[in-house]
Amino acid sequence: MQEQMLETKSSERSESKPRRFDYTAVLDIAIGFGLFLAAWQAVFMLKYKPSYLLPSPYMVGERLVQLAQSGALETSTLITLERLAAGFSISIAIGVAVGLLMVNFKRFGRAMGSFCVGLQSYPSIAWVPFAILLVGLNNEGIIFVVVISSAFSMMLSTYSGIRNIPPIYIKAGRNMGQSRISLFKNVMLPASYPSLITGVRQTWSFAWHALIGAEILMASIGLGALLEFGANFARMDQIIAAMVMIFLIGFLVDKLLFWKIEDRIRTTRGLNVIQK
Amino acid sequence: MQKNEEEYGGAPLSAYASAGQPSSKVLEIENLRKVHVRNNGKQQEDLVVIESVNFSVNEGEFVTIIGPSGCGKSTLLNIIAGLESHNGGDIVVRGHRVPSTGPDIVMIFQEDALFPWLTVLDNVAFGLRRKGISKSERRRIAMQYIELVQLGHFADSYVHQLSGGMKQRVSIARGLSMNPRVLLMDEPFGALDYRTREILQQQIQEIHAKTKKTILFVTHDVREAVSLGDRVILLTHRPSKIKQQYVVDLPRPRSSEDPQLHGLINIIQKELKEEIKYAGTDVGNEII
């Protein structure tokens, strides 16, 4: 009987061995992009708007190449990514630190919790005037907007992530004689990874939204500024070229970085119930 | 098949340790008392859960505890494990009062308490973390215990890939690998189906015979209590006290369907029914 039990289990196990690269998923995504470009081209060919207001994919591609050749694209993208990295990492650091304090000091947690909920949904653009006067119309001002728009989301995720750990894990850890530090590092932290990674992803999303908004209003260089200049000089091809870059960065970071991490965590723990 | 509470009272215990060694107390529970404070709307209400429980467990002995649902069996085990506070009395391990939870007394929970982010091997090795042994050494020791519960092929599996019975076997391996003085088991097979439970009941007896571990095992199943225990402790309804203790002096390995066990099962079941009657019959079906 036992042997039987082992048999069925081992066959089940071999199914969930490390998965190979899924080419069909990539194909589906490529088809999706292709259809979108075709639809765009079709709308362009209807001549519903003049081409300087609604350029074709090819025209936008041309503009992208021009911007790349002049070096403007690289400079803009790099400075935007730099601001993003700075703002996002500061947000994560502050968010995790304050979140942990909230877990440790119950009354602070309660007070801060409701504060966070309010501030989390506060529109990031609405911080811009405040930031311009307080910090200045400069790089730091932009990063300030990014941090203040996204840190609260990380605080909340850390706070709720740790508070929602199933008590049995902590009981088991204590039962195995773990010190407070080890309990935190080896039990509580990994137990809260699924909600922490969701929090990191949400924080990234808030930070990215805030950054582009702040760049449109506050920057003289960067992808947001590229959009703004496009509007000022009525260069729709440049506007869409910048939009494409913004889209691509968001897509790549989310899909390739966070999604991968989240998927791995979920698969390890058997949380991926719905699999193709 | 005698029953007598006095036998286990203050006087030195007669030699009945299953391991065949001279009996020596490894765990003593003295006048244990536990009060839950219930917040009942406006006023607070004290609820005595455990009222002066006294017993001791000998080295290598397999003791089962049985009692009506809600009588505080799990609370008792949690207190012994240091996971819950108590309001009076002492827990003495080898002559030393237990200060807090530690590797001397390890609990195996009914719920799935394995860490889903670790493999079977790392789950079992986790308990050895604090002893300052190297990672490879921890894994080597863990592997021995995984082999002991016959899960060698599954060392690299993650917890969700295992069945309920296998998970509990990993839990047992994790508990044993820490080499505790006393292994506490809180209805460890309660959530398993009948057949799996049968298998695990056999296995735990084999493991007990091999390792000579001292085991304190809580269950609500009289059959399980009698077939596994060298001694069965019957608790009363709340506030729980020890109602009776029974020595099960029958050859091992036993099966819960062993006809020799019927007599004792019937006696305990009758006593237990009485307790359930006192406790209110709403939970009666669950127990028998």
Name residue B182's beta-bridge partners.
Answer: B105, B214
- The nearest CA of chain A is from the CA of B273 a distance in Å of 31
Q: Does A175 touch chain B (CB under 8 A)?
A: yes
User: Which of A24-33, A256-265, B170-179 shows the lowest per-residue confidence on average (mean pLDDT)?
Assistant: A256-265
Name residue B66's beta-bridge partners.
Answer: B219, B234
Tokens 């990295």 sit on residue: A85
User: Order of strands across the sheet with B96-97?
Assistant: B43-58, B25-40, B88-93, B96-97
| Distant-in-sequence, close-in-space partners of A214: CB < 8 Å, separation ≥ 6 | A124, A125, A127, A128, A131, A141, A142, A145, A146, A224
Beta strands at B214-219 and B62-66: parallel, antiparallel or unpaired: parallel
Which chain A residues are within 8 Å of B122, Cβ to Cβ?
none
Task: Classify domain A61-268 at the CATH superfamily level.
Answer: MetI-like (1.10.3720.10)
Domain chopping of chain A, boundaries: 61-268
Does residue A12 register a pLDDT over 60?
A: no
Distances from the Cα of A131 to the Cα of A1, A104, A149, A212, angstroms? 70, 31, 11, 15
Beta strands at B105-108 and B182-186: parallel, antiparallel or unpaired: parallel
Question: Quick one: pLDDT at residue B3?
Answer: 42
Question: Quick one: pLDDT at residue B102?
Answer: 60
Does residue A269 register a pLDDT over 90?
A: no
With CB atoms and an 8 Å threshold, state whether B113 touches A176: no
- Rounded to the nearest 10 degrees, how much is the dihedral formed by the CA atoms of B149, B154, B157, B163? -60
* Window 58-87 of B, Cβ < 8 Å to A: 81-83
Paired tokens of B117: 């982010």
- The nearest CA of chain A is from the CA of B158 a distance in Å of 7
Question: Quick one: pLDDT at residue A9?
Answer: 42
Q: Residue range A102-117: average pLDDT?
A: 90
Question: Quick one: pLDDT at residue B98?
Answer: 64
**Angle (deg, nearest 10), helices A139-163 and A106-120:** 130
How many other C-beta atoms are found inside a 10 Å radius of the C-beta of residue A211?
A: 29
Instruction: Give the residue range(s) of CATH 3.40.50.300 domains in chain B.
Output: 6-104+182-190+213-287
Question: Quick one: pLDDT at residue A26?
Answer: 85
Cα(A236)–Cα(B97) distance, rounded to whole angstroms?
A: 79
- pLDDT bin (cut points 50, 70, 90) of residue A238 is very high
Q: Which of B105, B129, B216 to mutate to test the interface with A (most CBs of A within 10 A)?
A: B129
Task: Classify domain B6-104+182-190+213-287 at the CATH superfamily level.
Answer: P-loop containing nucleotide triphosphate hydrolases (3.40.50.300)
Nearest one of B43, B2, B192 to B200, comparing CA atoms: B192
Q: Residue range A238-247: average pLDDT?
A: 93
Question: Quick one: pLDDT at residue B284?
Answer: 39
Whether A128 and A103 have beta carbons less than 8 Å apart is answered as no
Does residue A24 register a pLDDT over 80?
A: yes
Cα(A245)–Cα(A247) distance, rounded to whole angstroms?
A: 5
DSSP state of B94: T
Q: Which helix (H) or strand (E) holds B28?
A: strand B25-40
Q: Coil, strand, or helix at residue B90?
A: strand
- What percent of chain B is predicted at pLDDT more than 70? 84
Which chain B residues are within 8 Å of A171, Cβ to Cβ?
83, 109, 113
Question: Quick one: pLDDT at residue A272?
Answer: 67
- The nearest CA of chain B is from the CA of A190 a distance in Å of 7
Nearest one of B208, B217, B144 to B174, comparing CA atoms: B144
Whether A165 and A186 have beta carbons less than 8 Å apart is answered as no
Q: Write out residues in chain B with pLDDT < 50, as ranges.
A: 1-22, 281-288
Whether B26 and B96 have beta carbons less than 8 Å apart is answered as no
With CB atoms and an 8 Å threshold, state whether B116 touches A176: no
Cα(A152)–Cα(A135) distance, rounded to whole angstroms?
A: 19
Q: Residue range A86-90: average pLDDT?
A: 96
Does residue A15 register a pLDDT over 80?
A: no
Q: Does B113 touch chain A (CB under 8 A)?
A: yes
Does residue A145 register a pLDDT over 90?
A: yes
Paired tokens of A130: 């405040």
Q: Coil, strand, or helix at residue B106?
A: strand
Nearest one of B222, B215, B191, B172 to B80, comparing CA atoms: B215
Name residue B25's beta-bridge partners.
Answer: B58
Distances from the Cα of B143 to the Cα of A274, B158, B220, angstroms? 33, 15, 32
Cα(A124)–Cα(A127) distance, rounded to whole angstroms?
A: 5
Cα(B14)–Cα(B34) distance, rounded to whole angstroms?
A: 29
Question: Quick one: pLDDT at residue B134?
Answer: 85
Q: Which of B160, B181, B203, B207 to mutate to test the interface with A (most CBs of A within 10 A)?
A: B160
- The nearest CA of chain A is from the CA of B222 a distance in Å of 25
- What percent of chain A is predicted at pLDDT more than 90? 58
Model confidence pLDDT, tens digit, residues A161-198: 999 998 899 988 888 888 888 888 899 999 998 889 88
Q: Coil, strand, or helix at residue A147?
A: helix
Which chain A residues are within 8 Å of B163, Cβ to Cβ?
5, 9
Question: Quick one: pLDDT at residue B5?
Answer: 38
Burial status of residue A147 (CB atoms within 10 A of its CB: 0-12, 13-18, 19 or more): buried
Does residue A250 register a pLDDT over 70?
A: yes
Paired tokens of B172: 């047992």
How many other C-beta atoms are found inside a 10 Å radius of the C-beta of residue A232?
A: 8
Model confidence pLDDT, tens digit, residues B193-202: 888 888 888 8
